[in-house]
Amino acid sequence: MIGAFQEMRLAGSLTVGGKSYRAVSSRTANLDVVLLRNVLNAALDEGYLRAVPVVKKLKERAPLKKRLLTGEEMTRLIACCASACKLNGEQLADYLRFLAYSGAREQEALRIKWENVNFDGQRLTVGADGDTKNGQSRSVNFTGPLASLLAEMKGRRAPDSCWLFPSPRRGGKDLRAISFKESLAMARDAAGVPWLGFHHLRHYFVSSCVMSGLDFMTIAAWVGHQDGGVLIGKVYGHLADEHKKAAAAKVSFA
């Protein structure tokens, strides 16, 4: 069994009995171990087990500090979209702001339809088709910037498309955009942020939420983490501390 797991970690997958299993990260495996321990302990309490077997956790790599996009860089990036991308500058700006205000992943955002936007309930459904990293949909409550952006986009939406980001080359078919990678490359170079990728906008969303004082569990639910905010606390927790110190420094009792 140990050899099988080693094979999976090296090859990225393992086939047993004709069924393929994909390797997961150590963090994901350890979350499953915690769940297994809870089940075993419950079985012990109910008398189904006499003892709980030892289930060891895997070693996890320390979370890397993320290169965070600043508000000034974000503003500059959006401003450069129109000049750097003549054909789809406005749509690119909408897409980048949408990622930054919703926390959606690159491909998740491209698959969202207008029927997934609930203006009355002030919430957005990400992954309604089940095609997400964990195979589950999630709701993201509107923040002020997200609500304003979606209202703008709705006011100029293509009447012949159900997609938030329709393909500019769809012709008579209702096709969604496939990628904005080439357009992003031009806009980020013009804005002086050549290191930036789509995932940095997801980090921008999370870090903004943390510095706004939101609890980690709520943020985790919005971005589709199933650990209750553990990872967000590890990676972004220091931002909350820095923000509190900066806020405390502004307090005056004069």
Give pLDDT, residue 125. Answer: 96
Q: What is the pTM of this model?
A: 0.73
pLDDT digits (tens, 9 = 90+) for 108-147: 999 999 999 999 999 999 998 887 877 889 999 999 999 9
pLDDT digits (tens, 9 = 90+) for 41-65: 888 788 888 887 777 777 766 555 6
pLDDT digits (tens, 9 = 90+) for 216-240: 999 999 999 988 999 898 888 888 8
Confidence band, pLDDT 50/70/90 cuts, at residue 24? low
- Indicate if the pLDDT at residue 2 is higher than 50: no
- Give the per-residue SS3 of the chain: CHHHHHHHHHHCEEEECCEEEECCCHHHHHHHHHHHHHHHHHHHHCCCCCCCCCCCCCCCCCCCCCCCCCHHHHHHHHHHHHHHCCCCHHHHHHHHHHHHHHCCCHHHHHCCEHHHEECCCCEEEECCCCCCCCCCCEEEECCHHHHHHHHHHHHCCCCCCCECCECCCCCCCCCECCCCHHHHHHHHHHHCCCCCCHHHHHHHHHHHHHHCCCCHHHHHHHHCCCCCCHHHHHHHHHHHHHHHHHHHHCCCCC
pLDDT digits (tens, 9 = 90+) for 81-105: 999 998 899 999 999 999 999 999 9
